[in-house]
Amino acid sequence: MTAKIQVDNSLPHLIANDITERIMNQQLQPGEQLREGEVSDRFGTSRAPVREAFYLLEVAGLIERLPRRGCRVKAYSWSEMIDIVELRNVMELLALKRYTPKTAAPHLKNMQEILRSMEERFTEDDKEAYSHLNQQFHRCIIRFSGSKLIETHYSRLSAPLRVLINKSWEGETLDQSIKDHQQIVKTLLEEDIEKAAEILSVHNLATITRLKKHYQSS
Protein backbone atom coordinates (compact mmCIF):
# COMPACT_ATOMS: atom_id res chain seq x y z
CA MET A 1 0.00 0.00 0.00
CA THR A 2 1.34 3.41 -0.91
CA ALA A 3 0.79 6.74 0.76
CA LYS A 4 -2.02 7.59 -1.63
CA ILE A 5 -5.17 8.82 0.05
CA GLN A 6 -7.41 6.03 -1.21
CA VAL A 7 -8.07 3.89 -4.27
CA ASP A 8 -10.91 6.04 -5.59
CA ASN A 9 -11.44 7.62 -9.00
CA SER A 10 -13.59 10.49 -7.74
CA LEU A 11 -12.26 13.95 -8.56
CA PRO A 12 -11.45 14.96 -4.95
CA HIS A 13 -9.38 11.79 -4.52
CA LEU A 14 -7.62 12.29 -7.85
CA ILE A 15 -6.74 15.85 -6.84
CA ALA A 16 -5.61 14.72 -3.38
CA ASN A 17 -3.43 11.96 -4.83
CA ASP A 18 -1.87 14.35 -7.34
CA ILE A 19 -0.95 16.78 -4.55
CA THR A 20 0.27 13.87 -2.41
CA GLU A 21 2.74 12.80 -5.10
CA ARG A 22 3.90 16.39 -5.59
CA ILE A 23 4.61 16.58 -1.85
CA MET A 24 6.38 13.21 -1.88
CA ASN A 25 8.51 14.27 -4.85
CA GLN A 26 9.23 17.59 -3.10
CA GLN A 27 7.71 19.65 -5.88
CA LEU A 28 5.70 21.15 -3.02
CA GLN A 29 7.82 22.08 -0.02
CA PRO A 30 6.90 22.22 3.70
CA GLY A 31 5.20 25.52 4.47
CA GLU A 32 4.25 26.15 0.84
CA GLN A 33 0.82 27.71 0.39
CA LEU A 34 -1.94 25.80 -1.41
CA ARG A 35 -4.56 27.98 -3.08
CA GLU A 36 -7.98 26.63 -3.98
CA GLY A 37 -8.23 28.85 -7.06
CA GLU A 38 -4.92 27.72 -8.53
CA VAL A 39 -5.70 24.04 -7.96
CA SER A 40 -9.24 24.32 -9.37
CA ASP A 41 -7.88 26.10 -12.47
CA ARG A 42 -5.24 23.41 -12.98
CA PHE A 43 -7.87 20.66 -12.87
CA GLY A 44 -10.53 22.66 -14.70
CA THR A 45 -13.07 22.26 -11.93
CA SER A 46 -14.98 24.23 -9.32
CA ARG A 47 -13.57 24.79 -5.84
CA ALA A 48 -15.89 22.27 -4.14
CA PRO A 49 -13.88 19.12 -5.05
CA VAL A 50 -10.66 21.00 -4.23
CA ARG A 51 -11.96 21.76 -0.73
CA GLU A 52 -12.80 18.08 -0.28
CA ALA A 53 -9.33 17.12 -1.52
CA PHE A 54 -7.76 19.54 0.98
CA TYR A 55 -9.81 17.91 3.75
CA LEU A 56 -8.50 14.46 2.75
CA LEU A 57 -4.93 15.77 2.74
CA GLU A 58 -5.40 17.37 6.14
CA VAL A 59 -6.69 14.08 7.60
CA ALA A 60 -3.67 12.30 6.08
CA GLY A 61 -1.35 14.74 7.86
CA LEU A 62 0.09 16.25 4.69
CA ILE A 63 -1.35 19.76 4.88
CA GLU A 64 -2.63 22.06 7.61
CA ARG A 65 -5.26 24.79 7.69
CA LEU A 66 -4.42 28.23 8.98
CA PRO A 67 -7.08 30.68 10.25
CA ARG A 68 -7.96 33.12 7.45
CA ARG A 69 -4.87 32.03 5.50
CA GLY A 70 -6.01 28.87 3.76
CA CYS A 71 -3.88 25.72 3.62
CA ARG A 72 -0.19 24.97 3.41
CA VAL A 73 1.98 21.88 3.18
CA LYS A 74 2.54 20.52 6.68
CA ALA A 75 5.94 21.40 8.12
CA TYR A 76 6.72 18.94 10.90
CA SER A 77 8.67 20.06 13.94
CA TRP A 78 11.75 18.08 14.96
CA SER A 79 9.91 16.51 17.91
CA GLU A 80 7.05 15.47 15.60
CA MET A 81 9.52 13.86 13.20
CA ILE A 82 11.02 11.82 16.03
CA ASP A 83 7.54 10.84 17.25
CA ILE A 84 6.53 9.58 13.79
CA VAL A 85 9.69 7.51 13.29
CA GLU A 86 9.64 6.07 16.82
CA LEU A 87 5.93 5.22 16.64
CA ARG A 88 6.58 3.36 13.42
CA ASN A 89 9.37 1.41 15.07
CA VAL A 90 7.28 0.50 18.11
CA MET A 91 4.39 -0.77 15.98
CA GLU A 92 6.61 -2.79 13.64
CA LEU A 93 8.46 -4.39 16.55
CA LEU A 94 5.13 -5.24 18.17
CA ALA A 95 4.03 -6.88 14.91
CA LEU A 96 7.26 -8.91 14.81
CA LYS A 97 6.68 -10.13 18.37
CA ARG A 98 3.46 -11.71 17.12
CA TYR A 99 5.18 -13.42 14.19
CA THR A 100 4.31 -17.08 13.68
CA PRO A 101 5.61 -18.95 10.61
CA LYS A 102 2.22 -20.37 9.66
CA THR A 103 0.17 -17.17 9.74
CA ALA A 104 3.02 -15.01 8.46
CA ALA A 105 3.80 -17.21 5.45
CA PRO A 106 1.74 -15.31 2.82
CA HIS A 107 3.05 -11.94 4.04
CA LEU A 108 6.64 -13.18 4.04
CA LYS A 109 6.20 -14.46 0.50
CA ASN A 110 4.89 -11.04 -0.50
CA MET A 111 7.89 -9.40 1.19
CA GLN A 112 10.24 -11.54 -0.89
CA GLU A 113 8.48 -10.47 -4.09
CA ILE A 114 8.60 -6.81 -3.05
CA LEU A 115 12.28 -7.16 -2.16
CA ARG A 116 13.06 -8.44 -5.66
CA SER A 117 11.35 -5.37 -7.11
CA MET A 118 13.24 -3.14 -4.66
CA GLU A 119 16.52 -4.67 -5.82
CA GLU A 120 15.61 -3.84 -9.42
CA ARG A 121 14.71 -0.25 -8.56
CA PHE A 122 17.91 0.00 -6.49
CA THR A 123 19.97 -1.05 -9.51
CA GLU A 124 18.19 1.58 -11.60
CA ASP A 125 18.60 4.21 -8.83
CA ASP A 126 14.85 4.88 -9.08
CA LYS A 127 14.21 6.36 -5.63
CA GLU A 128 10.58 7.24 -6.32
CA ALA A 129 9.60 3.66 -7.21
CA TYR A 130 11.84 2.34 -4.43
CA SER A 131 10.00 4.58 -1.96
CA HIS A 132 6.62 3.07 -2.91
CA LEU A 133 8.01 -0.46 -2.57
CA ASN A 134 9.68 0.37 0.74
CA GLN A 135 6.31 1.35 2.15
CA GLN A 136 4.73 -1.89 0.89
CA PHE A 137 7.56 -3.91 2.44
CA HIS A 138 7.04 -2.41 5.88
CA ARG A 139 3.28 -2.82 5.57
CA CYS A 140 3.92 -6.58 5.32
CA ILE A 141 5.71 -6.45 8.67
CA ILE A 142 2.66 -4.80 10.24
CA ARG A 143 0.45 -7.57 8.85
CA PHE A 144 2.43 -10.12 10.87
CA SER A 145 0.51 -8.74 13.86
CA GLY A 146 -2.81 -10.06 12.56
CA SER A 147 -4.38 -6.93 14.05
CA LYS A 148 -6.64 -4.65 12.04
CA LEU A 149 -6.37 -2.08 14.83
CA ILE A 150 -2.58 -1.92 14.54
CA GLU A 151 -2.88 -1.73 10.74
CA THR A 152 -5.35 1.15 11.00
CA HIS A 153 -3.17 3.18 13.36
CA TYR A 154 -0.08 2.44 11.28
CA SER A 155 -1.83 3.61 8.10
CA ARG A 156 -2.29 7.04 9.68
CA LEU A 157 1.49 7.41 9.75
CA SER A 158 1.97 6.30 6.14
CA ALA A 159 1.89 9.63 4.33
CA PRO A 160 3.98 11.75 6.75
CA LEU A 161 6.37 8.84 7.26
CA ARG A 162 7.04 8.55 3.55
CA VAL A 163 7.65 12.31 3.36
CA LEU A 164 10.26 12.06 6.13
CA ILE A 165 11.97 8.98 4.69
CA ASN A 166 12.18 10.58 1.24
CA LYS A 167 13.66 13.71 2.82
CA SER A 168 16.18 11.62 4.77
CA TRP A 169 17.37 9.99 1.52
CA GLU A 170 18.33 13.32 -0.07
CA GLY A 171 21.98 13.16 -1.06
CA GLU A 172 22.20 9.57 0.23
CA THR A 173 22.58 6.26 -1.57
CA LEU A 174 20.19 3.38 -0.91
CA ASP A 175 23.02 0.90 -0.28
CA GLN A 176 22.38 0.46 3.44
CA SER A 177 18.63 0.43 2.96
CA ILE A 178 18.64 -2.45 0.49
CA LYS A 179 21.12 -4.41 2.65
CA ASP A 180 18.86 -3.97 5.69
CA HIS A 181 15.80 -5.21 3.81
CA GLN A 182 17.72 -8.22 2.50
CA GLN A 183 18.90 -9.07 6.02
CA ILE A 184 15.41 -8.69 7.48
CA VAL A 185 14.00 -11.18 4.96
CA LYS A 186 16.96 -13.55 5.46
CA THR A 187 16.57 -13.65 9.26
CA LEU A 188 12.80 -14.10 8.99
CA LEU A 189 13.29 -17.06 6.64
CA GLU A 190 15.68 -18.48 9.24
CA GLU A 191 13.00 -17.79 11.89
CA ASP A 192 15.49 -15.74 13.90
CA ILE A 193 12.89 -13.19 14.98
CA GLU A 194 15.10 -11.63 17.65
CA LYS A 195 17.81 -10.86 15.09
CA ALA A 196 15.24 -9.58 12.60
CA ALA A 197 13.86 -7.22 15.26
CA GLU A 198 17.36 -5.95 16.03
CA ILE A 199 18.09 -5.21 12.35
CA LEU A 200 14.65 -3.65 11.88
CA SER A 201 15.00 -1.30 14.84
CA VAL A 202 18.45 -0.05 13.77
CA HIS A 203 17.13 0.36 10.23
CA ASN A 204 14.07 2.35 11.32
CA LEU A 205 15.85 4.63 13.77
CA ALA A 206 18.58 5.41 11.22
CA THR A 207 15.97 7.66 9.61
CA ILE A 208 16.34 10.04 12.56
CA THR A 209 20.13 10.13 12.11
CA ARG A 210 19.78 10.92 8.40
CA LEU A 211 17.16 13.60 9.06
CA LYS A 212 19.36 15.22 11.69
CA LYS A 213 22.27 15.24 9.25
CA HIS A 214 20.07 16.78 6.57
CA TYR A 215 18.65 19.57 8.74
CA GLN A 216 21.99 20.40 10.34
CA SER A 217 23.55 20.88 6.91
CA SER A 218 20.65 22.89 5.46
Task: Map out the domains of the chain as residue ranges.
Answer: 11-73, 78-217
Percentage of the residues of the chain whose pLDDT score is greater than 70: 95
pLDDT tens sequence across 87-136:
999 999 999 999 999 999 999 999 999 999 999 999 999 999 999 999 99
At 2 the pLDDT is 45
| Maximum separation of any 2 CA atoms in the chain, in Å | 57
Q: Which CATH number fits domain 78-217: 3.10.20.30, 3.40.50.150, 1.20.120.530, 3.40.50.720?
A: 1.20.120.530
Question: pTM for this one?
Answer: 0.85
- CATH architecture of the domain formed by 11-73: Orthogonal Bundle (1.10)
**Per-residue pLDDT tens over the stretch 28-56:** 999 999 999 999 999 999 999 999 999 99
Query: Over 70: is that where the pLDDT of 209 sits?
Result: yes
Q: What pLDDT is attached to residue 135?
A: 95
